[in-house]
Amino acid sequence: MAKSKVAKKKPLVPFWDDDLRALCLNGRVVKRYRQPAIAQVCILKSFQELGWRRRIDDPLPGNGGRLHAQQRLRETVRALNHALRPAGIRFECNGAGNGVLWCAA
């Protein structure tokens, strides 16, 4: 009896190209940075360094209290999602405000 072959869909894995300052998905640039965006790039570099695990701890350097850090993280994630080409990726803060997640959109 022949085994049926089920095509497994390859998981989406983003890629941060630090030289081009571009976020890529499936070989397409979904966001390019032409202006400084230190906090956004910090998050993207952290995801890249950690192999694009689904969740990372807040990588932004601290310079204030907990509430300030949570607000800064939320604003950075909002900016990360802004002007993303329709590519199937979104970023979110975790519920505690101390981590960032990415997911296929």
pLDDT in 10s for each residue of the chain, 105 residues = 555 565 566 667 899 999 999 999 988 999 999 999 999 999 999 999 999 999 999 999 876 555 588 899 999 999 999 988 776 899 999 988 889 999 987
The owner of tokens 């499936």 is 26
DSSP helix/strand/coil, 45: helix
Domain ranges of the chain: 15-104
pTM across the whole model: 0.85
- CB atoms under 10 Å from CB of 100, counted, come to 24
